[in-house]
Structure 1
Amino acid sequence: MKKILGTVAFLNILFATSAQNISGTVTDKNNSPLNGSTVIVSTKNFRQSRLTNESGSFNFSNLDPSLKYKLVIEYVGKQTFDTITTAQQNTMLNIILDEAAAYLEPLEVRAVRASDKAPFTKTNISKDEIAKINLGQDLPFILNQTPSVTTTTDAGNGVGYTGIRIRGTDATRINVTLNGIPFNDAESLGSFFVDLPDFVSSANSIQIQRGVGTSTNGSGAFGGTINISTNEVNKKAYAESDNSFGSFNTWKNTIRLGSGLLGNHFTLDARLSRITSDGYINRASSKLTSFYTSAAYIGNKNSLRLNIFSGKEKTYQAWNGVPQDSLKTNRRYNSAGTEKPGSPYNNETDNYTQKHYQLFYDHSFSSKLKFNTAFFLVRGKGYYEEYKAGENLGDYGLSDTVVTDLIRQRWLDNYFYGQILSLQYKTQNDELTIGGSWNIYDGKHYGKITWSEAKVPNDYRYYNLPARKTDENIYVKWMHSINTKWNTFADVQYRYVMHNMQGFEDNHNLFIKRKFNFINPKAGINYSYNGWNAYLSYALAHKEPNRDDFEASLQQQPTAETLHDFEAAIERKKNKYNLSATFYYMLYKNQLVQTGQINDVGSYTRINVPNSYRAGVELQGGVAINSWLNAGGNITFSSNKIKRFTEYIDDWDNGGQKAVEHSNTNISFSPNTIAAATVTFIPLKNMQLNFVSKYVGKQYMDNAQNENRKLNDYFTEDFRLNYTLYKRLFNQIDFIVAVNNIFNKLYEPNGYTYPYMYDGGLINDNYYYPAAGTNFMIGLNIKL
């Protein structure tokens, strides 16, 4: 924290130099600012780009007044603006972009995203911003600098299995959609980005909503929503190659091709990716491949788009963690595969293939009324393999007198399919959206013994457990402009969920059938004037338990979780700076948390606790000090508490469990402080030097707030260099150099704990997932 504050203090005393400028605002025909417009100023040997802020403003300073500059402005769904101008008299432009004639905005995305004037907490990330940091690490690390975000990595270097938390809430409470289509696993409710490696290379934009946010499709959002859009039209033909190499023998190779808009109606886009890495943790290797294709017809009133994309991952398991006593002596230790005598088993791997099919149809009845629908199918199949020593075959439904070494595979074989749709009516003062979705998950869980020292039937299946889940929702959203300053928002959703699970891995005869009915209202008000923006909102959300929570008898079944989310914010945005403060209070009823209790079917499952909350403030700011120096950052201060719960600790001395009462304890993995900052120097035209800082306060690995079961706080700094050459052999060449953790901080962003009573005392058995020390990546991206 001292380093962050010192950097900010240094920047505040720097002298801002004067310069010739080209600046202005970009609006639509209703005089509404177009936030996120791409503005490009260029000459033959010079090019700079900016994104307009929420007031639609942009500014280019320190320009040569003797030159003529080409000014190009682009915004999705609008006609491109193109002109020649100068900076002789600090040129100020007010530009209105008209609707594109042969284009329908991706309505499936607009239906679930929060608009600029919606009273919800959000961050938008553009394609250009993604490209500057996309060197092969998974999506959570692309989002790492956004407010209230913490990330985890099993392999230690951000490749392979990774995780994300927003405001301390884990991935099972973060709703993720791809073009408005649900991505979360239907049963675990988590999002496994490793199944779609390098998907961000096909993303045109990403929106993160923190808190409940607006109604969306799929699982309930308790910590946030992440919406990834790939359906924007690339009007110009392109061919691009992205390649990077770095520490731990990490490679990324990506090829992207696009036809542009053919005959004013057709487009075709494609991507092929390959990522490999040995990982920081021993044997934590990753072999990841993926492809993406999209073909579209775009008319004046209709559009049809087909997306087909897939990912295949093979990762050596690194999910056991490193024992606490090994952190100082061998922090890269991996116990996976070590049950095999001699050298570790070489195929202790996770293997999964996921294929996505998305078909979209949009229709414009008029300039005010538009309709969209999409059908989708996700096909997933894969397994993880383990060498197990000294297994009793009685646990596998065979002879209980035989103990043997064996190799087993645990399989998932599933189909996930459904439909989304929305009808949107928009006038100058009102925007009404009626939407919803239905989806069905059909999955099989089964286990196989593929080899054994003792004789077993060939490809013997020791369990075979089907599961089915139905999820339906409908929502209505209404945004109303009272006048040019005030907007109101109302949103209500009905959601129906049904689970039908015919057995669990450790309880084959436990059949569970549960139904849930949720009503989720939301409302808020927004004020915008002269660069000021403020809003106040309330949202109610419910979420069903995940698959593991149901592994209990009918008498101990969990109830659904409820969240009341209150948000208030104020922000100020000008050409040279921006400041904002967001206050939130998230009150949980019946939140499911780990207590250590073993239920009546012998499983450690989460238990509903009556009252818990998260309360905090998110501060953000940025300043353009002069033409060659700018800085930005965010910091979150929060309190995250469970008001009362009972912890259960296994008693190995006397048998059973010991109960310990707790009150007002910190929620696990919820740091009280999260901060991020970036300082950008522009020493040369087309070159950026970025110093990136991240601070995460201490976190407890369970809910007892025990100082012996925690993750220490950590502060890391990264360095990035971006340099672009234009019209040199190729149309554009981007050089990227990233040095991560430049001060070689040894830290652990994730872990787990198992406390128990033994020999009259409390033993805390802790395991950690260490992050890599200093490491690097070098990228070379070419646009033909």
Structure 2
Amino acid sequence: MKPSISRRPPGCSTVRVTRLAALCLLAGLAQSLQAASLQGTVVDESRSPLTGAHVQVRAGSRVLANAATDSLGQFLLEGLPEAPLVLRLSYLGHRSLRETVTPPSLLGELVLASVALEPGELIVSADRARPTDAASYSTIDGEELELRHQGQDLARLLDGTPGLVSFSYGGNPAGYSEIRLRGFDQKRVDVQLNGVPLNDPEDHYVYWVDLPDMGSSLVEAQVQRGTGVAATGGNNFGGAVRLSTGFSPTPGLGLEAGVGSFGTRRQALTWSSGRQQDGWQLETRFSQLRSDGFRERSDLSSWGLAISGRRSLPGGGELRLSHFNGRQLSHVAWDGVPLSLLEAGQRTANSYAAYPNSVDDFRQPQFTLQLTQPLGGWVLDGTLYQIRGDGFYETYKQGEDLEAFGYQPWTRTLEDG
């Protein structure tokens, strides 16, 4: 029998084997990546499951996954890299748990120890979403806010939350900025700070720039997508943002300073008395922020002040007084860069502010008095507040009539003698 003669080019079989091996290697790699998961059960000290506990996985400062436990206290996170990661668990009224884990891993039961809440630490609000509510929301706790905050405005601090994007007119994190929630502008987003509306009563706009460095005082921020559980205001069609400030558990004096790109400088001085034996606690913060801005003539100079005090009342109640103030002096950079200049590479152009003194100078102080008092199975919650606006902006208009600004034309005749 004659041996068969192959007409395949030399090396063809080797090429096919190599390709097959490469495909098998890629398939095995993909399978190993999909198999990298974390699974566990969050319970309290009595081994009862904690429903709705927050589960977060980080790689350094980057958040890889967020989830909540189910009715059995269980969670399953998939698609994680096989590398050391930081797992953080938190639940209201319990101490947070932080562990370093390497997926894939079955963690079993993870116990969160209960911790007693001081009177007034829990702010009761019907507009705050809970795990049992039929609402889509994201809650940013104090630890996450501390990692994010670098002196930027609140709008920029919330950037990256699911469904929310933000931008600043000057191109830097400070100065005039806006948010978009589910595609709606901030006139359709109900924003509250400690239950006090921040939307302007006249135009429903939110002037984040009037609260410089407010992120230093926040202990929680919640973004609700859609109408959700927000029951106040007619401008919550796009969603709601709930911001809460708090008090330091220990007395102390702190000083922060930092520098950044575009000539940004920030200094902050904080002081807390801690909880006194008579039930009083006082806190204050003073901040200064300056920036040259990314765009031409978009520099900013601002300061912010926060003074808060609280007094414990019999029966677990609390009386709280707060004053937030600040002044922002910024050059006008409200208009966008024309397409012709963008195509020419002039991304920092600000031709609409050719007048060197086109500035916006404004203050919006806020005074708040709040009472929270448990009454059996009910809670009495009352808020009295005042918000004032004071300031101006200056610019140059060419070819405009006085009537367009509300002035009536007038003439004056000068006579000899």
Indicate if the aligned counterparts of 1:363 and 1:371 stay in contact, CA closer than 8 A. yes
1:270 and 2:284 aligned? yes
- Structure (1 or 2) with the greater strand fraction: 1
Q: Which residue of 2 aligns with 1:241?
A: 255
Shift of 1:400: 6.3
CA distance in 2, matches of 1:74, 1:321: 42
Shift of 1:36: 4.6
Shift of 1:91: 8.0
How do residues 350-389 of structure 1 correspond to structure 2 at under 5 angstroms?
A: 350-366=360-376, 368-389=377-398
Distance 1:211 1:273, change over 3 A: same
Q: Which residue of 1 aligns with 2:53?
A: 35
Q: Give per-residue Cα distances to partners, 1:697-756, cap 9 Å, x unaligned.
A: xxxxxxxxxxxxxxxxxxxxxxxxxxxxxxxxxxxxxxxxxxxxxxxxxxxxxxxxxxxx
Q: Give per-residue Cα distances to partners, 1:603-623, cap 9 Å, x unaligned.
A: xxxxxxxxxxxxxxxxxxxxx
How do residues 631-780 of structure 1 correspond to structure 2 at under 5 angstroms?
A: none
Q: Which residue of 2 aligns with 1:122?
A: 137
Distance 1:171 1:98, change over 3 A: same
Q: Which residue of 2 aligns with 1:133?
A: 148
1:235 aligned counterpart, secondary structure: coil
How do residues 76-91 of structure 1 correspond to structure 2 at under 5 angstroms?
A: 78=93
Distance 1:270 1:36, change over 3 A: farther
Indicate if the aligned counterparts of 2:129 and 2:229 stay in contact, CA closer than 8 A. yes
Indicate if the aligned counterparts of 2:142 and 2:220 stay in contact, CA closer than 8 A. yes
Shift of 1:263: 2.2
1:258 aligned to which of 272, 275, 279: 272
Indicate if the aligned counterparts of 1:113 and 1:227 stay in contact, CA closer than 8 A. yes
CA distance in 2, matches of 1:391, 1:199: 38
1:25 and 2:43 aligned? yes
CA distance in 2, matches of 1:122, 1:337: 39
- Structure (1 or 2) with the greater helix fraction: 2
Q: Aligned residue pairs: how many?
A: 357
Q: Which residue of 2 aligns with 1:282?
A: 296
Indicate if the aligned counterparts of 2:42 and 2:50 stay in contact, CA closer than 8 A. no
1:321 and 2:321 aligned? no
Indicate if the aligned counterparts of 1:138 and 1:198 stay in contact, CA closer than 8 A. yes
Q: Which residue of 2 aligns with 1:155?
A: 170
Q: Structure 2: which 5+ residue stretches go unaligned?
A: 1-27, 57-64, 77-81, 98-105
CA distance in 2, matches of 1:285, 1:12: 52
CA distance in 2, matches of 1:360, 1:28: 36
1:332 and 2:348 aligned? yes
Indicate if the aligned counterparts of 1:29 and 1:96 stay in contact, CA closer than 8 A. no
2:395 aligned counterpart, secondary structure: strand
CA distance in 2, matches of 1:36, 1:30: 16
CA distance in 2, matches of 1:259, 1:26: 33
CA distance in 2, matches of 1:81, 1:220: 35
Shift of 1:264: 7.6
CA distance in 2, matches of 1:203, 1:301: 23
Shift of 1:34: 6.2
Q: Say what the alpha-carbon RMSD is for the aligned residues.
A: 3.8
Rg comparison, structure with higher value? 2
Partner AA of 2:130 in structure 1: S
Distance 1:73 1:333, change over 3 A: closer
Shift of 1:354: 0.9
Distance 1:292 1:393, change over 3 A: closer
Partner AA of 2:119 in structure 1: Y
Indicate if the aligned counterparts of 1:294 and 1:305 stay in contact, CA closer than 8 A. yes
Distance 1:243 1:274, change over 3 A: same
CA distance in 2, matches of 1:137, 1:28: 42
CA distance in 1, matches of 2:46, 2:269: 35
Distance 1:117 1:24, change over 3 A: closer
Shift of 1:212: 0.7
Indicate if the aligned counterparts of 1:18 and 1:62 stay in contact, CA closer than 8 A. no
Q: Give per-residue Cα distances to partners, 1:179-237, cap 9 Å, x unaligned.
A: 11111011111111011111121110001100111133334301110000114x43223
Distance 1:394 1:165, change over 3 A: closer
Shift of 1:13: 4.5
1:206 and 2:221 aligned? yes
Q: Which residue of 1 aligns with 2:197?
A: 182
Partner AA of 2:232 in structure 1: N
Q: Give per-residue Cα distances to partners, 1:486-514, cap 9 Å, x unaligned.
A: xxxxxxxxxxxxxxxxxxxxxxxxxxxxx
Indicate if the aligned counterparts of 1:29 and 1:97 stay in contact, CA closer than 8 A. no
Partner AA of 1:280 in structure 2: F
CA distance in 1, matches of 2:177, 2:363: 17
CA distance in 2, matches of 1:187, 1:211: 23
Indicate if the aligned counterparts of 1:150 and 1:166 stay in contact, CA closer than 8 A. yes
TM-score (normalizing by structure 2):
0.74
How do residues 498-577 of structure 1 correspond to structure 2 at under 5 angstroms?
A: none
Distance 1:34 1:259, change over 3 A: farther
2:145 aligned counterpart, secondary structure: helix
Q: Give per-residue Cα distances to partners, 1:256-308, cap 9 Å, x unaligned.
A: 33233222833222221111111111010111210111111124432111111
Q: Give per-residue Cα distances to partners, 1:406-462, cap 9 Å, x unaligned.
A: xxxxxxxxxxxxxxxxxxxxxxxxxxxxxxxxxxxxxxxxxxxxxxxxx9xxxxxxx
Q: Which residue of 2 aligns with 1:782?
A: none
1:291 aligned to which of 305, 313, 337: 305
